[in-house]
Amino acid sequence: MRVELLQPDAAPQGTAPSTDPTGFARALDAIGAVLGAATQAEDAYASGAASLQEATYRRAEADVVLSVATAAAQRAAQAVQTLLNMQI
Protein backbone atom coordinates (compact mmCIF):
# COMPACT_ATOMS: atom_id res chain seq x y z
CA MET A 1 0.00 0.00 0.00
CA ARG A 2 1.33 3.38 -0.96
CA VAL A 3 0.41 6.49 1.02
CA GLU A 4 0.66 9.91 -0.55
CA LEU A 5 0.33 13.16 1.32
CA LEU A 6 -2.65 15.32 0.45
CA GLN A 7 -1.75 18.55 -1.26
CA PRO A 8 -3.96 21.53 -0.40
CA ASP A 9 -5.90 23.03 -3.22
CA ALA A 10 -4.41 26.24 -4.49
CA ALA A 11 -6.59 29.05 -5.66
CA PRO A 12 -6.51 29.19 -9.45
CA GLN A 13 -4.48 32.09 -10.66
CA GLY A 14 -6.21 33.71 -13.57
CA THR A 15 -4.46 35.48 -16.34
CA ALA A 16 -4.68 39.21 -16.70
CA PRO A 17 -7.33 40.34 -19.17
CA SER A 18 -5.97 41.17 -22.57
CA THR A 19 -5.68 44.83 -23.40
CA ASP A 20 -5.25 44.18 -27.11
CA PRO A 21 -7.87 46.34 -28.88
CA THR A 22 -7.76 44.11 -31.96
CA GLY A 23 -8.50 40.89 -30.08
CA PHE A 24 -12.17 40.79 -31.02
CA ALA A 25 -11.43 41.47 -34.67
CA ARG A 26 -8.81 38.73 -34.72
CA ALA A 27 -11.29 36.29 -33.16
CA LEU A 28 -13.83 37.11 -35.87
CA ASP A 29 -11.16 36.68 -38.54
CA ALA A 30 -10.29 33.25 -37.11
CA ILE A 31 -13.95 32.20 -37.20
CA GLY A 32 -14.19 33.42 -40.79
CA ALA A 33 -11.08 31.43 -41.70
CA VAL A 34 -12.56 28.21 -40.29
CA LEU A 35 -15.82 28.78 -42.14
CA GLY A 36 -13.89 29.56 -45.33
CA ALA A 37 -11.84 26.37 -44.98
CA ALA A 38 -15.06 24.38 -44.64
CA THR A 39 -16.47 25.95 -47.79
CA GLN A 40 -13.25 25.28 -49.70
CA ALA A 41 -13.22 21.63 -48.56
CA GLU A 42 -16.83 21.20 -49.70
CA ASP A 43 -16.07 22.82 -53.04
CA ALA A 44 -13.00 20.60 -53.46
CA TYR A 45 -15.11 17.51 -52.76
CA ALA A 46 -17.75 18.66 -55.24
CA SER A 47 -15.09 19.02 -57.93
CA GLY A 48 -13.56 15.65 -57.08
CA ALA A 49 -10.28 17.04 -55.72
CA ALA A 50 -10.84 16.09 -52.06
CA SER A 51 -12.42 13.35 -50.00
CA LEU A 52 -15.81 13.31 -48.35
CA GLN A 53 -14.05 12.72 -45.03
CA GLU A 54 -12.13 15.99 -45.33
CA ALA A 55 -15.22 17.96 -46.30
CA THR A 56 -17.25 16.44 -43.47
CA TYR A 57 -14.49 17.08 -40.94
CA ARG A 58 -14.09 20.72 -41.97
CA ARG A 59 -17.86 21.29 -41.86
CA ALA A 60 -18.12 19.72 -38.38
CA GLU A 61 -15.24 21.88 -37.20
CA ALA A 62 -16.95 24.98 -38.56
CA ASP A 63 -20.23 24.01 -36.91
CA VAL A 64 -18.51 23.66 -33.52
CA VAL A 65 -16.72 26.99 -33.89
CA LEU A 66 -19.95 28.69 -34.89
CA SER A 67 -21.81 27.15 -31.94
CA VAL A 68 -19.15 28.31 -29.48
CA ALA A 69 -19.14 31.82 -30.97
CA THR A 70 -22.93 31.99 -30.81
CA ALA A 71 -22.98 30.85 -27.18
CA ALA A 72 -20.30 33.41 -26.27
CA ALA A 73 -22.22 36.19 -28.00
CA GLN A 74 -25.43 35.22 -26.20
CA ARG A 75 -23.64 35.18 -22.83
CA ALA A 76 -22.09 38.58 -23.53
CA ALA A 77 -25.44 40.03 -24.57
CA GLN A 78 -27.04 38.61 -21.44
CA ALA A 79 -24.31 40.17 -19.27
CA VAL A 80 -24.75 43.55 -20.92
CA GLN A 81 -28.52 43.31 -20.49
CA THR A 82 -28.06 42.51 -16.81
CA LEU A 83 -25.82 45.54 -16.38
CA LEU A 84 -28.27 47.79 -18.20
CA ASN A 85 -31.13 46.61 -15.99
CA MET A 86 -29.28 47.44 -12.76
CA GLN A 87 -30.67 50.36 -10.86
CA ILE A 88 -28.15 52.96 -9.82
Asked, for residue 29, whether it belongs to a domain, the answer is yes
Average pLDDT, integer, range 11-20: 70
Asked, for residue 2, whether it belongs to a domain, the answer is no
Q: What angle do CA 16, 31, 61 make, to 5 degrees?
A: 110
Asked, for residue 63, whether it belongs to a domain, the answer is yes
Average pLDDT, integer, range 21-36: 92
Asked, for residue 52, whether it belongs to a domain, the answer is yes
Q: Of the given ranges (5-14, 20-29, 53-62, 67-76), which has the lowest mean pLDDT?
A: 5-14
Query: What is the model's pLDDT at position 11?
Result: 65
Asked, for residue 3, whether it belongs to a domain, the answer is no
Asked, for residue 53, whether it belongs to a domain, the answer is yes
Range of 60's domain?
Answer: 24-85
Average pLDDT, integer, range 36-64: 96
CA distances to 5, 11, 26, 42 from 8, rounded to whole Å, are 10, 10, 39, 51
Provide the domain count of the chain: 1
- Residue 5: pLDDT band (50, 70, 90) is confident
Q: What angle do CA 38, 71, 66 make, to 5 degrees?
A: 5
Q: Which residues contact 55 (CB under 8 A, 6 or more apart)?
A: 38, 41, 42, 44, 45
CA distance 10 to 67: 33
Query: How high is the mean pLDDT of the chain?
Result: 89
Query: What is the model's pLDDT at position 86?
Result: 87
Asked, for residue 15, whether it belongs to a domain, the answer is no
Average pLDDT, integer, range 52-62: 96
